[in-house]
Structure 1
Amino acid sequence: MRRRLFRSILGVATTTLAVLACTTVPAGPASAADAPYDVLIFSKTAGFRHDSIAAGTQAIRELGAANSFTVTATEDAAAFSTANLAQYEVVVFLNTTGDALNAAQQTAFESYIRSGKGYVGVHAAADTEYDWPFYGNLVGAYFASHPAIQQANVKAVDRGHAASAHLPQTWTRTDEWYNYRTNARSTARVLATLDESSYSGGGMGADHPHAWCKTYEGGRSFYTGGGHTQASYAEPAFRAHLLGGIRYSAGRSKADCRPESGYTSLYNGSTTGWSQAGPGNFTNTDATLTSVGGMGLYWYSAKQFGSYSLKLDWRLAGDDNSGIFIGFPPSSDPWSAVDNGYEIQIDATDAADRTTGAVYTFKSADIAARDAALNPPGEWNNYELLVEGERLRIYLNGVLINDFTNTNPVRSLAGHIGIQNHGTGDDASFRNIRIKELGGGPGPDPDPGTNTTVQAEAFTSQSGIQVVGKAGANGGSTIGYLDPGDWAAYNGQNLTGVTSLRARVVSGGTGGTLQVRTGSATGTVLGTLAVPNTGGWESYAEVSGALSGVPSGSQNLYLTVAGSGTGLYDVDEFTLVRSGGGGGSGTGPVVGLAGKCLEIDGGATADGSQAQISTCVGGSARQTWTRTGQTLRTLGKCLDVSGSGTTNGTKIQLWTCNGTGAQNWAPQSDGTLRNASSSKCLDVLNSSSADGQNVHLWDCVAGVASQKWTLP
């Protein structure tokens, strides 16, 4: 077979990886001038007042003067009117405390965020508006307590964001370190954590988020726990941290701020498992790989992958060229990757079918979506390559920009992965390469005996649909602002054996009807799901409906919206339910020891709510479980092992569904429920059948009544 002369073709040779001394990227302004914008600083205090507010205001003014934004500072809550807020791209809550806004002002600010604008919370912004749920979800977590001011180590765990890209992996500084009432990780992308072993008074344990970002209700949010002291605002690294958060919230720097869990690091400083094919190499400094010479390929030789989500951060120095190769067999010849795999290109100025986001020479990215999501040379970008069977979806900074299905029987998306060093003068850097292997998913040919769950925002095409970042959503986003006639298409879904559709929805509006069609947005309706008002825009529910006349094989599936009014409901995810598939399905009670029912204490819906047993009450929502494959769901969330623990006595709780092994429960022939990640069983504490008795994780013991369960 004649080899094509790709611009990204690799040479053949082997080199050794050069390891350099660790350095820290210096803090500085944006690498390219941002389009001008306006920022409002709000620093009203109804509680404790920080003496650093003036210093913080001055620092942000100076950052604005150097970085294309103007600053207005106020402590007057009257500034929170719809007309006044419309002037600004970002509102910074700078060490606010207490109840700062009245009901009308809160409503105006909610509309502001929902219009796509930005919020930055600094330090005591988390000690503000405890009785306003919208604000609590926007900031990400509320303040709980703090020890004395002291030095501590901040761990920069995500250095692909503008607020953290300049930081060393360990950032040592002095401040007042907050403990929070909840962990923000389930609804936000955590950028930095606190190392509680480095100071006294930490109260959150090994996972103590300190700075994070998120999308919420159409807007962008960044929060940092730093900024108590006046000295903070004179620190170059902290000022750059604050600047990055402002730029992200203003939409000037793009980032993937979806929540993330369950990933395994392939590279975060250690090159174990990696090999070089072809000439050139990558330097390894400050947990960053940077290309040198070429053409070559640095590939993860330790393992091949099938269905997975691969994430990594990348940066070009200028008009440079690189790429990510996937789906190639093991070989020291880089031509193997070219001839047998696929390259996801990194080079924004090349032709459409070989530019950033393209599957090189096979399929162009959506160029408009790509351009809107792309950061310029000198700044970091994030790729997610979501491989499910022979379907590949490419996300750039959290935005879907390409959806490709391999139909070539000679090639496959399964195989090794690698990063390219294209040649001298093509300078590309990579950070934080991590992977989450998937047990299945909506590829073009999933096993017909399993159910298929699809994130609603992963549509192929749409009309009238908006992707909405939302707390509690599985994957961090829903499709929302749904009006009658809107639709979303999901191409290449295997509908063999599908008998019903189940959807996770949320509505603070009138609700409506979700219709299921194939072929087109006006095709025959296969079934409908009634979506009620679920009690608010943060209160999720599951709805389902039978389907009839479902065609077999790979089909283009359409979800269409019907009802009266506007803004009817949001859809988080949907599941194609097959008869007898997915490890079983059904809805009803889970019955255990002494005929008692598994329930969530008090019917609470917060992450971390305790699971227990109690006398069965027919129709009780907290005792009604939906069995979906190997998950058990109630109250819109999943039965979960706390912290993916494996030790006897680990808490069993309710948690946002996230696809991890901590939420997989495999029924055994002896009546036990075995957890996938721990190989231990769901057990009743002390074998007591008293109402309110907690359940926990324990070694599986044959014949023990406290581990016997009857599923719906």
Structure 2
Amino acid sequence: MRPLTSKILGVAAAVLLTLAGTGGPARAADAPYDVLVFSKTAAFRHDAIPAGIQLIRELGAANSFTVTATEDAGQFTAANLAQFEAVVFLNTTGDVLNSTQQTAFENYIRAGGGYVGVHAASDTEYDWPFYGELVGAYFASHPAIQPATVRTENRAHAATAGLAPAATRTDEWYNFRTNPRSSARVLSTLDESTYSGGTMGGDHPHTWCKTYQGGRSFYAGGGHTQASYSEAGFRALILGGIRYAANRTKADCRPETGYTTLYNGSTTGWSQAGPGSFANSNATLTSSGGLGMLWYSAKEFRSYSLKLDWMTPGDDNSGVLLGFPAGSTPDSAQTTGYEVQIDATDSADRTTGSVYGSQSADIAARDAALNPPGEWNTYELLVEGERLQVLLNGVLINDFTNTDPARSLTSGYIGLQNHGTGDDVSFRNVRIKELGGTTPRTGPITSAGGKCVDVSGASSADGTKIQLWRCTGGANQQWTVNGSTLRSLGKCMGVAGGSTANAAPVQLSTCNGSGGQNWAPGTNGSLVNPQSGKCLDANGAGTADGTQLIIWTCHGAANQRWTLP
């Protein structure tokens, strides 16, 4: 794959492109890359395949990527796949790759490759578990082609940022065998009340994204009809999906459930303090004037995960204010609470991801996760007691603990800053999950490569190996974060024998309060055993099922990055 360092410098790299079909601000041209479009069929063949290939060729010509179209499965070799940043399965059906070709593609994804599935890509390779998990869900059935309402759930991803919150279009609407929400970030859903033949009920995912075993996956359920490929919105959807898969735009594609909407078009519960204002249009808040703040005055929050999407059209300044008392002015909110900054060109302690005036972000991690002006970003601000963790597009970039007695994060209100004239920052989809203070939370612990922390054989015996394994949703992959412990099957994750040595294995054992069973989130997504000062690590940077988890000196690589429930 062509590395980012091969970016062509000069005028071509500075060309501004308008986001397809969005009418939004311009974005900088991507570093050139290469895309393989694969459309082999072993079952039903869609007559829209030529239109799909033509669309992707047109997108490539306008957006810095080359396109190689093939139906030759022989192209799935390690050497050939290494040329491409993304592979599109365009209306493939049936068994299209042999076992050798499947292995080459698995290794390509594990090495950081990208996958895009269009429509019947979910009607492909039913007997290949890796592919089923990569695509996210298999096709089950479909009704007749008809109009339906598609509801855009996530308008921060490059694929869906330019789409309306709801739109009616005509296509063939797939029902799926399983709901992918538990393993993917759902971007859009189908409203089954607007058409006949839906079988998934009130939650019918239609488009989604995910990380998987080191690579990136994007799936679009539409694309049966030839007409689809001439629709501006569908063309923008496919372009954004390709850019994400090719790692040319960032997105938080972690699964998301349990959040309550604070803003998604309605400003009920919000109040403006100070000068300036926010325009409210197309379920988007856009700041003007200031210095002011739009704050959620309906409720005070304590322990929570706050998520919101934001975009700067240029070199602009704003921030998210946390932990301030009712009645605060925009100025005093910064001195009684804290601001998580949005301004990528300011000084280290006042730049995007910093806790303003108090602690810089990890700049290298921030830069790697940040989308440039003209594209949307997602913050998760995780507040637990006096601890504030800042995640940008799913990546931990700041881990701050308040020690100032004049301020506190343990309770307070949240607000969005309008900084001043010319600082025109936009916000979307502000949502919150209250954590209930120290209430335990349960779910999978996932690696940067998309695998799950797993208790071998689902055994609860003391000394059972803790390992990486493909995510199955089983009880042996459910972990409860309870204080400083991580618990599964009624027992604790710990270091064998309480060892502090590199390569000491991690295992399940009866909870005993020892230092070997304590874990604390560290920088860049790490999990630190405070007794040893070392990080939870996938042995040898392995990603295969059965890879032993160990402790090792913290170094920040992908095999030491974890996402907690």
Q: Map 1:314-325 onto structure 2 (within 5 A).
A: 314-325=310-321
**Equivalent of residue 547 in structure 2, options 547, 557, 569:** 569
Shift of 1:544: 2.6
SS of residue paired to 1:96: coil
**Equivalent of residue 544 in structure 1, options 504, 509, 525:** 509
Q: Is 2:56 the counterpart of 1:56?
A: no
**Cα separation, 1, equivalents of 2:443 and 2:140:** 36
**Cα separation, 1, equivalents of 2:454 and 2:428:** 27
**Cα separation, 1, equivalents of 2:468 and 2:370:** 24
Residue-by-residue CA offset, 1:6-25 (whole Å, 9 max, x unaligned): xxxxxxxxxxxxxxxxxx97
Q: Is the 8 A contact 1:82 1:109 kept in 2?
A: yes
Q: Is 2:537 the counterpart of 1:556?
A: no
SS of residue paired to 2:203: coil
Q: Map 1:302-317 onto structure 2 (within 5 A).
A: 302-317=298-313
Shift of 1:333: 2.0
SS of residue paired to 1:192: strand
Letter in 2 for 1:142: Y
Change (3 A) 1:28 1:323: closer
Residue-by-residue CA offset, 1:239-294 (whole Å, 9 max, x unaligned): 00100000011111100000000000000011011000000000000110000111
Q: Map 1:493-572 onto structure 2 (within 5 A).
A: 502=487, 514-515=495-496, 522=501, 529-530=506-507, 543-545=508-510, 547=512, 550=515, 556-557=530-531, 558=533, 567=542, 569=547
Shift of 1:184: 0.8
Shift of 1:203: 1.0
Unaligned segments of structure 2, at least 5 residues: 1-19, 456-465, 470-481, 521-528, 551-562
SS of residue paired to 1:394: strand
Letter in 2 for 1:211: T
Letter in 1 for 2:417: Q
SS of residue paired to 1:239: helix
Shift of 1:197: 1.1
Q: Map 1:31-430 onto structure 2 (within 5 A).
A: 31-331=27-327, 333-413=329-409, 414-430=411-427
Higher helix fraction (1 or 2): 2
SS of residue paired to 1:93: strand
**Cα separation, 2, equivalents of 1:163 and 1:59:** 15
**Cα separation, 2, equivalents of 1:28 and 1:214:** 25
SS of residue paired to 2:178: coil
**Cα separation, 1, equivalents of 2:377 and 2:440:** 34
Letter in 2 for 1:556: P
**Cα separation, 2, equivalents of 1:177 and 1:472:** 35
Residue-by-residue CA offset, 1:335-368 (whole Å, 9 max, x unaligned): 2312100000000000001100000010000000
State the match for 1:693 in structure 2. Answer: none
SS of residue paired to 1:213: strand
Letter in 2 for 1:196: E
Residue-by-residue CA offset, 1:588-640 (whole Å, 9 max, x unaligned): xxxxxxxxxxxxxxxxxxxxxxxxxxxxxxxxxxxxxxxxxxxxxxxxxxxxx
Unaligned segments of structure 1, at least 5 residues: 1-23, 442-449, 458-465, 482-492, 505-511, 531-542, 573-656, 660-712
Change (3 A) 1:454 1:338: farther
**Cα separation, 2, equivalents of 1:451 and 1:39:** 44
Aligned length, in residue pairs: 496
Change (3 A) 1:293 1:132: same
SS of residue paired to 2:265: coil
Letter in 2 for 1:421: N
TM-score of the pair, normalised by structure 1: 0.65
Q: Is the 8 A contact 2:21 2:236 kept in 1?
A: no
Deviates more, 1:168-177 or 1:406-415: 406-415
SS of residue paired to 1:265: strand
SS of residue paired to 1:100: coil
**Cα separation, 2, equivalents of 1:177 and 1:337:** 48
Q: Is the 8 A contact 1:126 1:142 kept in 2?
A: yes
Aligned-CA RMSD value:
3.3
**Cα separation, 2, equivalents of 1:29 and 1:281:** 21
SS of residue paired to 1:126: helix
Change (3 A) 1:62 1:310: same
Change (3 A) 1:571 1:124: farther
Shift of 1:200: 1.1
Identity in percent: 66
SS of residue paired to 2:28: coil
**Equivalent of residue 467 in structure 1, options 436, 448, 456:** 448
Q: Is the 8 A contact 2:538 2:547 kept in 1?
A: no
Change (3 A) 1:430 1:52: same
**Equivalent of residue 438 in structure 1, options 435, 440, 452:** 435
**Cα separation, 2, equivalents of 1:308 and 1:216:** 27
Residue-by-residue CA offset, 1:645-692 (whole Å, 9 max, x unaligned): xxxxxxxxxxxx997xxxxxxxxxxxxxxxxxxxxxxxxxxxxxxxxx
Letter in 1 for 2:530: N
Change (3 A) 1:424 1:571: farther
SS of residue paired to 1:108: helix
SS of residue paired to 1:364: coil
Change (3 A) 1:451 1:226: closer
Shift of 1:199: 1.0
Q: Is the 8 A contact 1:515 1:560 kept in 2?
A: no
For the pair shown, the structure with the greater C-alpha radius of gyration is: 1
Q: Is the 8 A contact 1:27 1:240 kept in 2?
A: no
